[in-house]
Amino acid sequence: MQYALLVQGSPYSYQASHSALRFAQAVVRRGHSLTAVFFYHDGVYNAARLAAPPQDEPHLYDAWAQLHREHDTELLVCIAAALRRGLMDERESSRHGKAGHSLEPPFILTGLGQLIEASTAYDRLISFSP
C-alpha cells in the first residue's frame, strides 16, 4: 500500500516525531511504500538543518534524511507554517532579502495544496501530533 505521514510535533519536545519515524520504519519493513512525510504545525521544525542534538541522543534530522535516501520518501514542509517559524530555503531567503538559509534538501518547501492534492493518491495517511 501507499502510505503518507503527517507530522505536527516539534522534534525534541514531543514524542510525535519519534513515533512517526518508528512507524515509518515499520511501514517499509512490512513492504509498503512510504511516499511522503508532510510537516505541519510545529512539525516543520524537524527540517531545521542546523539541528545539533547531543551525541547520545537520536539525530532526527539525519533519520528523516536517511528515510528519503533509502526509500525515496518525499519530505514536504508546509511553506506557510515554515516561513513564520524561521525555516526558509535559499530561494525564499533571497526572496525575503535575508542572508543565509535554515532549510535545504531533502526537505522541500511546498504548499498545503500538495498535501491535499496528493492525499487522494495514498491509501493511508497517518497523523502524529504533540
Angle, nearest 10°, between helix axes 16-29 and 60-71? 20
Note the maximum CA span of the chain.
46
User: What is the x/- site pattern for its own copies, positions 10-39, by CB under 8 A?
Assistant: xxxx--------------------------
Give residues 66-85 in contact with its own copies (rule: CB under 8 A): 80-81, 83-85
Q: Which does 87 bind (CB under 5 to 8 A by kind): its own copies, other proteins, none?
A: its own copies
Whole-number Cα distances in Å, 46 to 16, 30, 75, 107: 11, 25, 10, 9
Query: Is 78 among the catalytic positions?
Result: yes
Residue tagged active-site, from 7, 21, 47, 78:
78
Number of CB atoms found within 10 A of residue 113's CB: 9
By CB under 8 A, is residue 129 in contact with other proteins?
yes
- In the complex, the smallest distance separating the C-beta of residue 17 from other proteins, rounded to whole angstroms, is 9
**Residue pair 124/23 in contact by the 8 Å Cβ criterion:** no
Residue 101 neighbours by CB under 8 Å, 6+ apart: 49, 88, 89, 90, 92, 93
User: What is the x/- site pattern for other proteins, positions 81-120, by CB under 8 A?
Assistant: x-----------------------------xxx-xxx-xx
Cα 24 to chain centroid, rounded: 12
The residues of the shown chain that bind its own copies, judged by CB under 8 A, are 10-13, 41-42, 45, 48-54, 57, 61, 80-81, 83-88, 92-93, 96, 98, 100-102
Q: Which amino acids are annotated catalytic?
A: 78
